[in-house]
Structure 1
């Protein structure tokens, strides 16, 4: 990735551009590079920050979505950020929801894409064939509408993660925490404007999940991206950025 990763006070993050702050939260298998096209497009007019979430660094007992939301809060406080827009994909969306619910005074708006929090069809309860490269390749391709989006680099990255025993234990703990922490009863309390940008062919958080989010959130808009799976900002960056720009122009 062409952006430099800063390290400060135990935080690792990317910080590009100046202006109103966009905080981008990656998913469970997501790398910082998933957001490359968003950073490149918006760093001209905004300050775009991606904190590296400590998915594998939390003690096992506290490995979960709430701990990640607390981590985001500590990061925001440390960097003295205000009036932020939080963007989250997959697990990152779930973390963004919890953070917004707990700290509404810090959040100007929220953007969710393929977010967990209501329902997700995850990798499953285990990795029974994690040593099989083809199996992992198939699972990564499942994330996208067009399997070609699952580049060798991406598959290699996931393959490496799921063949690290400690990381697998943490991933499963995090995934179970996400399933346990269903937010359907709390989502109506979020009052900030929310932009939902969803792949119409998302098989992990299917379209009906987006519709339910839209119904439960009091101030939300729902934007569809055709021929697109679970990560629109990667698979259809031009359409994703167009929806995001329209929303941000309205908010700021």
Structure 2
């Protein structure tokens, strides 16, 4: 059952049960055309719909835009039954589209959200028209068995909280932004809020236990969805060499790199991103290769 939520005066926010989990999302309908394409925004680790705050007003000029909080993050349920695998997140995105009767969408994923987007395209290639990956997570291995075993020790959640909070939110934002002037009180408060929820750290522990490694080369080579990757050259979280490697392994990918830009690229280069995304989405789709007659 879909339910309207009064989260903000100008925020069209909703809740929807998907795959047995309560999911928070924001739906910005394009007022010019009901036939506009739909873009779904998928955030990264330790983030939420907040990370797309600068892209949304620009994207809604031409597209229907949906931003969702993945289970365990933001305002979505901190479920203790959901299996926090990337493949399950990818399936949840497709199930979410089914619930809203969205036949096909463009997915824009940041960091871990990029891997989730790739999983959705792998699972249902006919449902994902194009992919835009921003500082995409790639080639990260699964946590070691010893770390997973340790996660069952009492008080591990305290250790997880200490690990996340070893730097304050301001320092964490300074680490993902090249331009320190962008670290405002508004941004600090927005990223601080989820950390106050006790259930949040239990979700992180489940993610640590369940998260499989990122898609490997063989899987990436079978994803033929057109991909635009945008990277910050000063990205310290996911170095630009990951972008070059993904470009090599994905059959139909292009890579754009911005100088003087870190991991939270949407805060630093929103207009540039929208310009490239718009050009990419306006490019005609390549005709399918037809087999030669026998």
1:12 aligns with 24
2:41 aligns with 24
Q: Secondary structure at the match of 1:105?
A: coil
Larger mean Cα displacement after TM superposition, 1-10 or 143-152: 1-10
For 2:200 and 2:235, how far apart are their aligned partners in 1? 25
2:153 aligns with none
Q: Secondary structure at the match of 1:13?
A: strand
**Structure 1 residues 60, 205: closer, same or farther in 2, change over 3 A?**
farther
**Structure 1 residues 119, 144: closer, same or farther in 2, change over 3 A?**
farther
2:60 aligns with 43
State the shift of 1:67 in Å: 2.3
For 2:254 and 2:280, how far apart are their aligned partners in 1? 9
Tell me the TM-score normalized by structure 1: 0.87
Q: Secondary structure at the match of 2:168?
A: helix
1:100 aligns with 121
For 1:164 and 1:6, how far apart are their aligned partners in 2? 20
For 1:75 and 1:28, how far apart are their aligned partners in 2? 20
Listed one character per residue, the Cα deviations across residues 161-220 of structure 1 (whole Å, up to 9, x for unaligned) are 335443123224425654x32212311110010000111111111100111110000000
2:109 aligns with 88
Tell me the TM-score normalized by structure 2: 0.75
- Is 1:128 the counterpart of 2:140 in the alignment? no
**Structure 1 residues 102, 229: closer, same or farther in 2, change over 3 A?**
same
Equivalent in 182, 197, 216 of residue 184 of structure 1? 216
For 2:61 and 2:239, how far apart are their aligned partners in 1? 33
Q: What RMSD in Å do the two structures reach over aligned CA positions?
A: 2.4
Listed one character per residue, the Cα deviations across residues 74-121 of structure 1 (whole Å, up to 9, x for unaligned) are 11111111231111001111111111101111011111011113249x
Point out where structure 2 has 5 or more consecutive residues left out of the alignment.
1-7, 142-158, 286-294
For 1:33 and 1:27, how far apart are their aligned partners in 2? 11
For 2:260 and 2:209, how far apart are their aligned partners in 1? 29
Higher helix fraction (1 or 2): 1
Contact 2:131–2:226 under 8 Å retained in 1: yes
For 2:58 and 2:82, how far apart are their aligned partners in 1? 39
Listed one character per residue, the Cα deviations across residues 210-238 of structure 1 (whole Å, up to 9, x for unaligned) are 11110000000101122111121222111
- Is 1:156 the counterpart of 2:189 in the alignment? yes
Larger mean Cα displacement after TM superposition, 60-69 or 136-145: 60-69
- Is 1:236 the counterpart of 2:248 in the alignment? no
Point out where structure 1 has 5 or more consecutive residues left out of the alignment.
none
State how many pairs are aligned: 246
Larger radius of gyration: 2
